[in-house]
Chains A and B, each alone.
Chain A
């Protein structure tokens, strides 16, 4: 079953903060976050493993709540370059496939 992301879209002014959530109905081993700009390939941001948290990119951090099977991506002091669609990719136990979420479109304006 596909992970659900919320919100579907976010509009921000430069310097504002945003939170993107990703939830699953399955027990999770790891969560991967990607950003995709229009017409480009997804770019890896960071990975969160069960029992840990890793920061991977600029002023962007994330959390992983294993019990709730949820992950949140935090974007602070957003920049114009943050614009794009954010996808979470979830990996469950006993599989090495990623199932990608529904995506959150983020637009940052000056």
Chain B
């Protein structure tokens, strides 16, 4: 059975801090790892990672994948209160169909 574990479960930081979120996985036929931000109901897409060691960046967010050690990290620098959300990690199989297996999420609270 595919398994995705995120850590920490939650964290509280102050504006300007840097946070690092972890995602480890055990899946058969790995194809991609995706990060989502969930503020209310619908997850919004952040990154899709398929290759090891290639950092993806979008503004203050960045992410990298290690396919040998089976984990990914999501970094947020210079955090803002708008970064407060649940961050979800999901992995997809190699076969077409793109069924995703999600981790339990990390809840981030950024205080002013």
- Real complex partners, A and B? no
Q: Give the interface of A toward B (CB within 8 A).
A: none
Q: Chain B interface (Cβ within 8 Å of chain A)?
A: none
